[in-house]
Amino acid sequence: MYHHEVFWLLISAMLIPAAAAGTEFSRTVYGALEEAGCRSCHGPDGVASPTRLHFPEPGATPGRIEAFGKSLVALVDRENPASSLLVTKPTNRVPHAGGRRIAPGSEADQALRAWASRLARLPESERIQALRYERDGARDQERHAGPVLRRMTHAQYNNTVRDLLGELGQPASQFPPEDFVNGFKNQYGAQSLSPMLFEAYSAGAERLARNAFRRGAIRRLIRCDPSPECGAEFIRSIGLRMFRRPLSPAEQRRYAALLEGDFFEGARSVIEAMLQSPHFLFYLDETPDAALKPYAAASRLSYMIWNSTPDEALLDSAASGALNSPEGLTRAARRLLDDPRAKEALGEFVSQWLRFESVLAAGRDRRLYPDFSRETALAMTEEARRLVDGLVWQDRNFMEVFTADYGYINTELARVYGLPAPAGEFERVTFPPESERAGLLGQGLVLTLTSTPNETSPTARGLFVREQFLCQHVPDPPPGVSTDLPPPSEAKPQTNRQRLGVHAADQACASCHSLIDPIGFGLEKFDAVGARRERQKLVFYPLDRKSKEPPRIVELDLDTKGQIAGVPDSDFSSPRELGEVLARTAQCQECVVKQYFRYVAGRTEEAGDRQTIRQVFEEFRRSGFRFREMMVTLALAREFPTAREGGDVSRRRTE
């Protein structure tokens, strides 16, 4: 900090009482709330995000923290400060979904009481100003500029070499595996370039360049007879396609040197060299160069909608300036959405959002689930994919993804669901009302990937709903807390709900498990592979594996009453009822936007993104939750954020 800034901070502390109050808040109340873990639930993606208590971003300035402290006046009873929610909620004097975070009578409790009393005495003008924090708190934060370059994911690499060179294989399948970060594989914070990956790129470039000649695909790229003029044109055209921008004069000269000698061998060397260049492996996401901004826009749009490189038409639009206006960008986005590649690209988002890899890797105890196989798991992913595809590409209400009373099943799934085998593979079948299935939550996919090899996991199911469908982060268990439950015993058989009762009895566990376990309880009518059950069956095998005695089977009645803490009128007892709750809940509707934003932007949303996400969500809702319209709106929001803040997005649509 500069000396003159320190000087003025000291002067302010001496002359302005509010600054002194802010210092006291930071030192006592703010620290106590953070130590109690309140931020983890009351952050932008916390389970308590819909409440009136919103912590500022980590690393916030003292001024922001002071403003936050004053905004807590919204939780203060001016007539009786000691009974304010600010005091009674964290101490659990009034029932708190997060449990008791601050012990009554502790120093932290006393600090809360003192702060509540101080806020109760705020003049009306200061009170009104303080209440504006919640509404306007994020608006003065800078917009996240994003990364300058983003490395292609393995899927994007495969698609790009297919569209450039006609490569129909999957060369990136031989690359080192990618990690899931923030729920997706394309988060730029994890896109480092390891030595192993660089070696894989080098070997892949050699094979791809060689294969392009063998298949004759190079003839699509060399569109003239070999000559100096042809060589220059080839380098300009292939460079534009490979780097998604025009080559600089220096780059043209460097690659032209590779054409000396045998023309076609030189052309192969050019392609091999370009495939290893950072300008191919990383695409422009942001650039300060005004001349390259349209090309960065083309790359963002293409990798967003196609998960692949821009085609010649999109690059021509960048060159002509057609992408420099909302109308031009909208036309380009709609053209890309009409291409079959858009459907394939959206499938990649869906597979990561819904954790297809997890269900494909799932194993089951063959004694308990003899019919479950990899083919069953594959059928589950296909059913989910077809449900989403039908809603998106037929421009239907996307929230039906939670309420659809039908599914797309084959013989494998019909066996699991207890339905007659369909006449054809993955035909649309209406579920009988008594099945209580609906949408994704009634499909085998979600019910299986949130279970263990032996039994269902209400905790995992509740956590999945919170994180994937409500975009809420549940804190990790405290250090040193055992997460293992006692196994069911033959002497005292218990349902999963009864076994999980230990969480409610342990204060260290209850604060989080009360937010997730009750959601899973409402899905207990369905077993670990998604089959309907009326009772929970416990199987106790003889301790002696060589024993020929049959296992003892105990069946227990199920209590499937569930609820979503923090969501009004959310009682349910089946996937169908839970789907109806989620479909009408604003947090779930907005979460669809957030998940797609995270995937497209390659990062989680930050304070500066809230206004954009809010506006895209409002447009999503006005469109009747049409996912394709949301994709176009988000594409516009990324390119023209300042233009959109001042007006109605719907007015900028170009049909």
Tell me phi and psi for residue 86, to 5 degrees.
Answer: -60, -30
Spatial separation of the C-alpha atoms in residues 502 and 487, rounded to whole Å: 12
Q: Could you tell me if 447 and 564 lie in one domain? A: yes
Give the pLDDT band of residue 477 (cuts 50, 70, 90): confident
Q: Which of 19-28, 220-229, 545-554, 585-594 has the highest mean pLDDT?
A: 585-594
pLDDT in tens, 488-511: 888 899 999 999 988 777 776 777
Q: What is the rounded average pLDDT of the residues 97-106? A: 82
Q: Among the three residues 561, 583, 605, which one is the final residue of a domain in this structure?
A: 583
* pLDDT of 15 over the 70 cut: no
Give the pLDDT band of residue 76 (cuts 50, 70, 90): confident
Q: Which of 99-113, 158-172, 561-575 has the lowest mean pLDDT?
A: 99-113
Q: What is the pLDDT, as a whole number, of residue 649?
A: 46
* pLDDT of 650 over the 60 cut: no
Tally the domains of the chain: 4
**Number of Cβ within a 10 Å radius of residue 489:** 10
Q: Among the three residues 583, 609, 640, which one is the final residue of a domain in this structure?
A: 583
Q: Which of 127-141, 207-221, 313-327, 420-434 has the lowest mean pLDDT?
A: 127-141
* pLDDT of 18 over the 70 cut: no
Spatial separation of the C-alpha atoms in residues 197 and 176, rounded to whole Å: 6
Q: Which range of residues forms the domain containing residue 193?
A: 149-321
Q: What is the pLDDT, as a whole number, of residue 543?
A: 82
Amino acid of residue 604: T
If one compares 303 and 142, the residue with the highest pLDDT of the two is 303
Residue 562: which residues within 8 A CB-CB, separation 6 or more?
A: 518, 519, 520, 521, 522, 523, 571, 572, 573, 578
449 in a domain, yes or no? yes
Q: Among the three residues 553, 583, 613, which one is the final residue of a domain in this structure?
A: 583
Q: Which of 470-474, 486-490, 585-589 has the lowest mean pLDDT?
A: 486-490
Q: Could you tell me if 157 and 184 lie in one domain? A: yes
Q: Are strands 282-284 and 427-430 parallel, antiparallel or unpaired?
A: unpaired
349 in a domain, yes or no? no
Helices marked H in 394-439: 411-417
93 in a domain, yes or no? yes
pLDDT in tens, 44-55: 777 777 676 778
* pLDDT of 196 over the 90 cut: yes
pLDDT in tens, 350-406: 999 999 999 999 999 999 999 899 999 999 999 999 999 999 999 999 999 999 999
263 in a domain, yes or no? yes
Q: Could you tell me if 454 and 519 lie in one domain? A: yes
Q: Could you tell me if 365 and 463 lie in one domain? A: yes
pLDDT in tens, 24-71: 687 778 888 888 778 777 877 777 776 767 788 777 777 778 888 888
* pLDDT of 412 over the 60 cut: yes
- Which among 587, 583, 624, 162 has a CA at the least distance from the CA of 401? 583
Residue 608 · residue 142 · CB < 8 Å? yes
342 in a domain, yes or no? no
Helix (H, G, I), strand (E, B) or coil at 25: helix
What mean pLDDT, rounded, does the chain reach? Answer: 87
Quote the tokens at residue 79: 């007539």
Q: Could you tell me if 552 and 430 lie in one domain? A: yes
Q: Could you tell me if 173 and 85 lie in one domain? A: no
Give the pLDDT band of residue 482 (cuts 50, 70, 90): low
Residue 545 · residue 552 · CB < 8 Å? no
Label residue 312 exposed, middle or buried (CB < 10 Å: 0-12, 13-18, 19+): exposed
375 in a domain, yes or no? yes
Q: Could you tell me if 188 and 272 lie in one domain? A: yes
Q: Could you tell me if 579 and 603 lie in one domain? A: no
Spatial separation of the C-alpha atoms in residues 74 and 78, rounded to whole Å: 10
Q: Which of 68-82, 282-296, 531-545, 620-634 has the highest mean pLDDT?
A: 620-634
**Number of Cβ within a 10 Å radius of residue 369:** 20
Q: Could you tell me if 374 and 407 lie in one domain? A: yes
Q: What is the pLDDT, as a whole number, of residue 139?
A: 43
Spatial separation of the C-alpha atoms in residues 374 and 529, rounded to whole Å: 12
327 in a domain, yes or no? no
548 in a domain, yes or no? yes
* pLDDT of 217 over the 70 cut: no
Q: Could you tell me if 111 and 154 lie in one domain? A: no
Percent above pLDDT 90 for the chain: 60
Q: Could you tell me if 572 and 521 lie in one domain? A: yes
Quote the tokens at residue 612: 């954009």
Q: Could you tell me if 571 and 498 lie in one domain? A: yes
Helix (H, G, I), strand (E, B) or coil at 395: coil
Q: What is the pLDDT, as a whole number, of residue 290?
A: 92
